[in-house]
Amino acid sequence: MVNCNQQAETWECGYILLQSMFDFVNVYQKQFPKMWNDTKEVTNEDIEKTLKELMPILFDGLGIP
């Protein structure tokens, strides 16, 4: 088993990739590569929280009100 977040179904892969990229760029650069040691499954609440945090940043960057 890989020592990172696991997807329970087939549709979470985009979320896991997006969250990992966001975490790397904004949070964990100095701690890389020791950081992704969490093997918990992603919950719907995790996905909703990430979307609520990232969508305003994405829309602002694209000039979408």
| Residue 8 covered by a domain | no
- The whole-angstrom separation of Cα 57 and Cα 46 is 17
2 pLDDT tier (thresholds 50, 70, 90)? low
User: Which of the pair, 6 or 48, is modelled with greater confidence?
Assistant: 48
**18 part of a folded domain:** yes
User: Among all chains, which residue has been given the structure tokens 């909703």?
Assistant: 48
Model confidence pLDDT, tens digit, residues 9-41:
777 667 777 887 887 777 767 766 666 666 778
The single-letter code of the amino acid at 32 is F
Residue 64 has pLDDT above 80, yes or no: yes
From the centroid of its chain, how far is CA 49? 10
Highest mean pLDDT among 3-12, 27-36, 45-54: 45-54
Which residues lie closer than 8 Å to 7 by C-beta, 6 or more apart?
A: 13, 16, 41, 42
Q: Does 27 fall in a domain?
A: yes
Q: Give residue 18's domain range.
A: 13-62
Number of domains in the chain: 1
